[in-house]
Structure 1
Amino acid sequence: MTPAPDTTPVTPAAPETGRVADAPSRNWVYRVLPPGLWPYAQLARWDRPIGWQLLLWPCLWSATLAAGAAAETTPIPFGTYLFHLVLFFIGAVAMRGAGCTYNDLVDYRIDMAVARTRSRPLPSGRVSRKAATLFMVLQALVGLVVLLQFNGFSIGLGIASLVIVAAYPFAKRVTDWPQLVLGLAFSWGALMGWAAAFGDLGAAPVFLYLASILWTIGYDTIYAYQDREDDALIGVRSTARRFGDRPRPWLAALYGAAVLFLALAFIAAGAGFFAWLALLVAAVMLAWQILVLDIRDPADCLALFRLNGTVGLILFAGLFAALVWRLLV
């Protein structure tokens, strides 16, 4: 059952500018696209690239880990590997956009009741539900075209993820752990990259998937602290509400286990020195997030959440350097 919004009058944060309250105003969307397309870009979160980046990194980790493992037996052509990276980039942007549009359609009433989300295109009335649905379908079709470029096993695996994606918006209504459901969906790329290379799965991508799930729960918990008070008022559940005022032990356990499973994935795939160096740097950055987190400061929570995009980049850079080193030496 969808929680009823509170009785506070709902007005867009800045209707005259067409912006949303929680997106950077200097984003390329507002410099390049005509204003008529801004609401659709906001539905897809093109003005907030951190989302598709966090969806993309597990795909790239997995594809690069697989390429490194294959180098010892049957090397994957480097051009094929790079083509897979491009496909994962396009797919991540498209499917993240489709997922966010779907989430906004489902959470329309909840978004009206939360101060940070009231200015989004649907609750502010700048896009109709029919237009948003059509836009969601178009983005999903782009994702489907991308998926069809891979092998049959990967296609089936990708289609299977849609069950979790469809369930996610409803999780916050029935469990304190919607971040776990998000992790299951957002981490699917950790399986896809390996499957695209080998046409099957193994220990390494499974460990990578578990690591990514735990990482996602951690960073999305930090993000959820921005809305904890509003969520409590309207009955939306989250790990931020579940952990309360003492998130550090939980985050330490989540991030610590994520690092452990990443290490197991690296061992299983025979990752090289640069991958391990990147893992060390990433572990330090995750620990730093826990130490400096101020759950009473929404701006701090948002900044630390966004920092995870850099964590993902560092891990990819390490894996890529290890792959290149292995191919050259």
Structure 2
Amino acid sequence: MQQKLKDLSELVMLQHSFFSMPFMFIALLTSAKGWFGWKLFIFGVIATISARNFAMAFNRYADRKFDSTNPRTQNRPSVDGRIAPNAILFFIFVNAVIFVCISYFINALCFYLSIPILAILASYSLFKRFSSLAHIVLGLSLGLAPIAGAIAASGEIPLWSIYLCIGVLFWVAGFDLLYALQDIEHDKKEGLHSIPSVFGVTKTLWLSRLFHLLTLVFWGLFIFEANLGLWMWIGLGISILALFFEQYLVSKNFHHIPRAFFTVNAYLGIALLGFCILDLMAGL
């Protein structure tokens, strides 16, 4: 049983929930102007993890053929036989049900949007088969987290949550472009429409930089529209340094891509959440 749980965790890379979860909590805190209660905290954690489990497991199931021909991914549990295809399908179904049920218990708007959100989360795996916009779809998938947080706390979608969503969208799309540089030759061989395989390395690097510049613009608009204070502006300054460092690491050597992708981005979300907490505490 312990080994099966370990394989499932590896399948969905559970630790990477830190990419989207901090932004869901930032939206909850901003909507509530402080602590939002244990109910939303617990429901938010379960909803975020189940949605991400659904998306990652769907991606692994749909991409088994492509992952088996990619040296970087051919040892994944979905490829090497550790987890059977039917078991992955069952895991996808269970997490979808959990997400919809949790959404129902939060509020009506969360429930009504739960199925469309799952459809968007699943679309990334299919999009890259015919469009280079797959990177944007992945960004939107994580960008929905702050909108979901705002809906959970207030039952509506304020303008600041849209700015935060778009910022997360470009942030994720920007670092996904860098990550996709590892698979240029494989994507060309398999006919997958990643931006690096279609437009090349140089254009991909510049587009990633543009996306991260837009990230900072929209995060600034979020801070302004939500009327947040000095600590969040400091957090934005830290974000500038972090994204610059990420771009520098990758441009210097592609061997730094895993470090830039997993370490820098995970800490960035957590840091912004910390600055949001400090900002709200300072305003009390």
Same fold (TM over 0.5): yes
Q: Is the 8 A contact 1:62 1:190 kept in 2?
A: yes
For 1:264 and 1:61, locate their aligned partners in 2 and report how far apart those are by CA, in whole Å: 15
Q: Which residue, 204, 218, 221 being the options, matches 1:264?
A: 221
Letter in 2 for 1:45: M
Instruction: Provide the residue aligned with 2:74 in structure 1.
Output: 118
Match runs of 1:209-224 below 5 Å: 209-224=165-180
- Quote the Cα distance in structure 2 between the aligned partners of 1:237 and 1:57: 30
Residues 308, 36 of structure 1: alpha-carbon distance in 2 compared, 3 angstrom cutoff: closer
Q: How does 1:42-57 map to 2 (within 5 A)?
A: 42-46=10-14, 49-50=15-16, 52-57=17-22
Aligned residues: 282
Contact 2:175/2:261 (8 A) holds in 1? yes
Aligned 1:127-146 pairs, distance under 5 A: 127-146=83-102
Shift of 1:311: 0.9
The one-letter amino acid of 1:55's match is S
Partners of 1:91 and 1:113 in 2: CA distance: 33
Distance in 1 between residues matched to 2:36 and 2:148, nearest whole Å: 18
Report matched runs for 1:50-89 at 5 Å: 50=16, 52-68=17-33, 78=35, 80=37, 82-89=38-45
> What is the Cα deviation at residue 149 of structure 1?
2.7
The match for 2:140 among 165, 174, 184 is: 184
**TM-score, structure 1 normalization:** 0.80
In structure 2, C-alpha distance between the alignment counterparts of 1:105 and 1:171, rounded to whole Å? 15
What's the counterpart of residue 231 of structure 2? 274
Say whether 1:201 aligns with 2:157. yes
**Contact 1:188–1:209 (CA under 8 A) maintained in structure 2:** yes
Give the residue type in structure 2 aligned to 1:210. Answer: I
Instruction: Assess if the C-alpha contact under 8 Å between 1:112 and 1:118 holds in 2.
Output: yes
Amino acid at match of 1:155: F
Q: Please, what is the CA RMSD of the aligned residues?
A: 1.9
Percentage of identical aligned residues: 22
Shift of 1:325: 1.9
Say whether residues 1:317 and 2:274 are aligned partners: yes
Shift of 1:258: 0.9
Contact 2:132–2:194 at 8 Å: present in 1 too?
yes
- Structure-to-structure mapping, 1:291-306, within 5 angstroms: 291-294=248-251, 297=254, 299-306=255-262
Contact map agreement 1:176 1:241 (CA 8 A) in 2 = no
Deviations 1:92-129 (A, max 9, x none): 22221121111111111111111111111222122221
State the alpha-carbon separation in 1 of the partners of residues 105 and 40 from structure 2.
9
Give 1:243 shift. 4.5
Contact 1:157/1:192 (<8 A) preserved:
no
SS at match of 2:128: helix
Report the CA distance between 1:171 and its aligned residue. 0.8
Q: 2-side partners of 1:225 and 1:324: how far apart?
A: 41
Mapped pair 1:174 → 2:139: no
1:44, distance to aligned residue in structure 2 (A): 2.7
- For residues 257 and 134 of structure 1, the distance between their equivalents in structure 2, rounded to whole angstroms, comes to 38
In structure 2, what is the Cα distance between the partners aligned to 1:89 and 1:243?
38
Equivalent-residue separation in structure 2 for 1:198 and 1:172 (angstroms): 35
Greater C-alpha Rg: 1
The more displaced of 236-245 and 317-326 is 236-245
State the alpha-carbon separation in 1 of the partners of residues 152 and 117 from structure 2: 15
**So what's the TM-score if we normalise by structure 2?**
0.92
For the residues of structure 2 that align with 1:266 and 1:273, how far apart are their CA atoms?
A: 10
State whether residues 43 and 106 of structure 2, in contact with CA within 8 Å, keep that contact through their aligned partners in structure 1.
no
Conservation of the 8 A alpha-carbon contact between 2:20 and 2:269: no
How many angstroms apart in 2 are the aligned matches of 1:275 and 1:264?
A: 12
